[in-house]
Amino acid sequence: MIASLARTANNLLCLNKQLLCLLWLCRAPYDAPMTNLPQNSDGTQTSDFGAGSGQWRGRFPYNEIITLLDVNRLYNLAESTSQDLTVGEVLDLAGPDRIRDLKLGYGKSAGLPDLHQAVADACKAPAEHVVTTQGTALGIFLLALELCRAGDEAVLVSPCFPPSRDSLIGAGARVREVALSFDDGYRLDLDRIEASLSPKTRLVSLASPQNPNGVQTPRAAIENLLVMMERRSPQALLFLDETYREATYGDTPPADSFAALDPRIVTGASVSKALGAPGLRTGWLTVADADLRTRLTVAKMNTVISGSVLDETLAAALLRNREKVLAPRRRLLAGAIDELARWCEAERERIDWVRPDAGALCCLRLRPDVLDAAGVSRFWRVLPRHDLQLASGRWFGESERVFRLGFGYLPPERLGPALSALSTALDAAVA
């Protein structure tokens, strides 16, 4: 009996050693960042990953924004999209017979020529500069992976869409983050960006309009940034994420794309936000440098092979008809932002906000003179009780006192009740 127990213990020990060897062999080739177990925004710990080691072992940092894919409460003010289109609405734009006859082979390596042309028209850039991607997200990932090797530097403007930072970390880049301030209305701080540039910088990354705050960067600031980059980081490219560019309000026309401004600019965007089709998973990069374009296409081949011909055909139809889709959405967003502005005015003793330039999203802040740190924790804890969902500033590299509020996702008749529920949640947090 004792001998058999000893044998079992010995076998277990060997198994453990083999497992450890395997983990050692398969580890990332660089020092992947090891963060503590992530905290949920209500202060609890997420524990359904890892092997109970108390450490997150992923190549990419864990970010609670992933819960947005799986949780959708009645008063979802966390989403950054406009309302979702239906397949039927997009089919009608594409022509159902054309779709029925579509052959489901692999797509072309750089994407569907029809989609290239539609993107070129939207961005006023040459069609041959376009590489299609599965959402802007894949473009962000491929660019980080292809441009940044271990030890290279990337300058990132934050707060930002978490994968813009985390794909750089996953690629082994040293990320120099330039955090913009709520109090400055998240205006680009060129002096601090300049101080972060170096000859090792390979990529400077920012979004306009930015997620989470909807603040746009003026053309003059981008031109100044390019001059700085030429001086201090001659090998760097500038990635401009234009995912929210066309989500404007009322009669405001979208800002021009930066795609054709300078060959060092790579832009990325998709049909996900302004056009309301994130489920198509279709986006693009515009890349002037032919060598980089080929490298990105090879990286895409090694990741997803090609885009889906069905998704890309539907996305091309959507882009060609985008004015038809965007006009009613601009009206909805104009109504929604007016309603939100009125609510913010009524709540000005408890809430500050930065009014966005475009995008169905903006940043609000719980006033420190009304809610201390314990009050902020209470605020996050009470939200589910009120069927509310918000995106924590922490996900984007901001304080937990700040939250992103999406005002374009709920049907218009539900926005008012959602904001009332938010006032009630504030009452409960203050008490």
Distances (CA, A) of 123 to 65, 78, 126, 131, 317: 29, 28, 9, 13, 16
Residue 381: which residues within 8 A CB-CB, separation 6 or more? 42, 43
Residue selected from 76, 82, 132, 136 as contacting ligand PLP according to rule CB under 6 A: 136
272 near ligand PLP, judged by CB under 6 A: yes
Instruction: Tell me the closest approach of the beta carbon of residue 361 to ligand PLP, in angstroms.
Output: 8
Question: Which stretch, 40-48, 129-137, 249-257, 284-292, contacts ligand PLP (CB under 6 A)?
Answer: 129-137
DSSP 4-56: HHHHHHHHHHHHHHHHHHHHHHTS-SS----PBPPBPTTSPBP-SSTTSSSB-
Residue 262 gets the label, from left (phi > 0), alpha (psi -120 to 50) or beta, of beta
Instruction: Tell me the closest approach of the beta carbon of residue 5 to ligand PLP, in angstroms.
Output: 54
Sheet holding 174-179, edge to edge: 130-133, 283-287, 265-270, 237-241, 201-207, 153-158, 174-179
Which lies closer to ligand PLP via its Cβ, residue 89 or residue 345? 89
Question: Which stretch, 133-141, 252-260, 292-300, 303-311, contacts ligand PLP (CB under 6 A)?
Answer: 133-141
Distance CA 430, CA 292 (A): 53
Output the residue with the shortest Cβ distance to ligand PLP: 135
> Distance from CA of residue 402 to its chain's centroid?
17
Q: Find tokens 């992976």 and name the residue.
A: 145
Instruction: Tell me the closest approach of the beta carbon of residue 212 to ligand PLP, in angstroms.
Output: 8
Omega within 30 of 0 (cis) for the link into 126: no
For residues 132 and 284, is the Cβ–Cβ distance under 8 A? yes
Instruction: Tell me the closest approach of the beta carbon of residue 98 to ligand PLP, in angstroms.
Output: 24
Residue 38 gets the label, from left (phi > 0), alpha (psi -120 to 50) or beta, of beta
- The site that binds ligand PLP (CB under 6 A) totals a number of residues, namely 13
Which lies closer to ligand PLP via its Cβ, residue 272 or residue 392? 272
Footprint (CB under 6 A) of ligand PLP, residues 53-112: 80
Distance CA 421, CA 408 (A): 17
278 near ligand PLP, judged by CB under 6 A: yes
In sequence order, what are the beta bridge partners of 201? 153
Which lies closer to ligand PLP via its Cβ, residue 360 or residue 382? 360
161 near ligand PLP, judged by CB under 6 A: yes
Instruction: Tell me the closest approach of the beta carbon of residue 307 to ligand PLP, in angstroms.
Output: 12
What string marks each residue from 214 to 253 as x (binds ligand PLP by CB under 6 A) or -? Answer: ---------------------------x-x----------
Question: Which stretch, 132-140, 169-177, 371-379, 401-409, contacts ligand PLP (CB under 6 A)?
Answer: 132-140
207 near ligand PLP, judged by CB under 6 A: yes
- Give the SS3 label for residue 371: coil
Footprint (CB under 6 A) of ligand PLP, residues 404-423: none
Rounded (5°) CA angle 308-274-237: 75
Which lies closer to ligand PLP via its Cβ, residue 194 or residue 408? 408
What is the H or E stretch that residue 238 is in?
strand 237-241
211 near ligand PLP, judged by CB under 6 A: yes
173 near ligand PLP, judged by CB under 6 A: no
Can you give the binding site for ligand PLP, defined by CB under 6 A? 80, 135-137, 161, 207, 211, 241, 243, 270, 272, 278, 283
